[in-house]
Each structure stands twice: as C-alpha cells, then as structure tokens.
Structure 1
C-alpha cells in the first residue's frame, strides 16, 4: 500500500488526535530498523536456471532438516539442542521465506525478552525468587542430611 511517504517521515498523533492528523517528524535512515529483503539468497547463476535452483533448494532443505533433526535429538541427548535448531532454521532462512519470517519473529521475541530481563523490577524479582529457591533447597538438603547423614558408597554395610 502506497501512503505517499518516502519512508523518512513518521506521523504522530497529538493529544488524542487520530493517527495521520498529527505533525510529521523526519527520522534518519539509521534509526529505522532495516531488514534484508525476503527471498532466496542463492547466487544469480543458480537462480537463472530453474532445475539448478530447484536442486539448490532441495539441498538447502535436506541440510537444514539434518541440522534441525540433530538439534531435536540434542534436546533429550547431551548437546546444545536449541542452538543447533536455530542454526538449522538459519540454514533454511537462506532459501525459504517462511523460515526467514520465523527467524525474524524469533529474533524480535528474544530481543524483547532481553529488554524485559534488564528491567530493574524484573531483575529484583528474579533475584528474590532465586534466593528463596536456594534457601528452600539448602533447608531440604540440611533436613535430609540431619535425618539420614552422609553414607559414602564405599562404606556401605551389607
């Protein structure tokens, strides 16, 4: 939809005015969030040939599927499962628009969560909850040791 704007102006509502009835403010290009265009990142000579481009997409899909599958396996096995899954999504995002959109959404949510985590009230709450959890675990461990004591495996009486 063409709004007649060249992308450097932002409409601002003043004192409850409807959007678009406020004044216009110029915004630098550096301040705007720039995202890469959606679509294939295959080299031009591959895009020019339909069968070569299709085989390129199949190859990217198979490699991405292998990496994502390994990441899913690492969720229950030792290893950095989520990191590998997002790596596979990044491989898919080099070729497929749906993966690019999922990756952009994920990056946006992660940055929002990081900003929320830096909020002083949230940090204070998390520190308090962690302290309470550590105290509860220490009390439970103390009760267990008081009741049963420490029995080392090599001193077990048969």
Structure 2
C-alpha cells in the first residue's frame, strides 16, 4: 500500500507542479514489467541481466574512448540502459542532462560566443606567428629532399 501511495504522489507531482519538466519529476525506480516485479527471483534476475548488458555497453564505450568510435555516446547509452532499472543511474542521467542543458545555454550567450571567437582568433594568430618564425629560422625541408 505504501508503494502505491508513493507512486501516486510522484505522478501527481509530475502532473501538477512539473512546469514543463516532466522528466525531471518522473518517479524513480524499476521500469520492469509488472509480472517481473511481482516475483522477487525473476526481478533480481532481470536486474542482473540489465546490469550485465549495461556493463557491456559501458565497457565498449570505454574501449572506444582511445580507439575510433563514439565512446562517450556509447557510455551514455549504457547509462541509459542502467537507468531503466537502477535509481542511481537515473539520478546520474538527470544530473548529466541538467549540466549539458546549462552548458548549451551558456555557450549560446552572445557575450560568451564573442569571447570564444576572440580567444580563437588570438590563438590562431599566435600559432601563425610561431609557425612563421620557425619557417623563417629553419626553412621548410620536404621529406623527399633530405640530403645527409
């Protein structure tokens, strides 16, 4: 009875005071089918399976970080798999989504964009000057014209 009242309280909070953010106030917990949650041993087996599949996906993402491939995207996909069953993963994904949204809003701020463009231009000028000094001092020797 307590679990039912807790779920209804979570739904009413998501419906009433959500304010356009229903994902932020969605109830936490397992999204396994009801027949799986009804049997303890089946639910534990389900959780172990979800954990192993998520672990394999996160592991593949970690391997893809130094190798070619979308490493971070695969890691977040593994976290999303874990979030179907584990509250800690749901909280991590909520935090990550919030931080990515905040960073995107900061990056779109005209002052920040202007600052980033100026810093990029200054950096490119510095690199061009350093390359010019190097070429002036040492010259350019093509690999096919090296004489020893």
Q: C-alpha distance in 2, partners of 1:154/1:44?
A: 71
Name which of 129, 136, 146 aligns with 2:126.
136
Unaligned runs of 5+ in 2: 1-11
What are the residue-to-residue correspondences of 1:54-93 with 2, within 5 Å?
54-93=44-83
1:107-143 CA-partner distances (Å, limit 9, x unpaired)? 0011011111111111111111111111111111112
- What SS class does the counterpart of residue 154 from structure 1 fall into? helix
- Residue 83 of structure 1 and its aligned partner are, at CA, apart by 1.4
- What SS class does the counterpart of residue 124 from structure 1 fall into? helix
What are the residue-to-residue correspondences of 1:117-156 with 2, within 5 Å?
117-156=107-146
In terms of fraction of residues, the more helix-rich structure is 2
- Residue 30 of structure 1 and its aligned partner are, at CA, apart by 7.4
What does residue 19 of structure 2 align with?
Answer: 31
- Residue 41 of structure 1 and its aligned partner are, at CA, apart by 1.2
- What count of residue pairs does the alignment treat as equivalent? 134
Are 2:98 and 1:98 aligned?
no
Unaligned runs of 5+ in 1: 1-5, 8-27
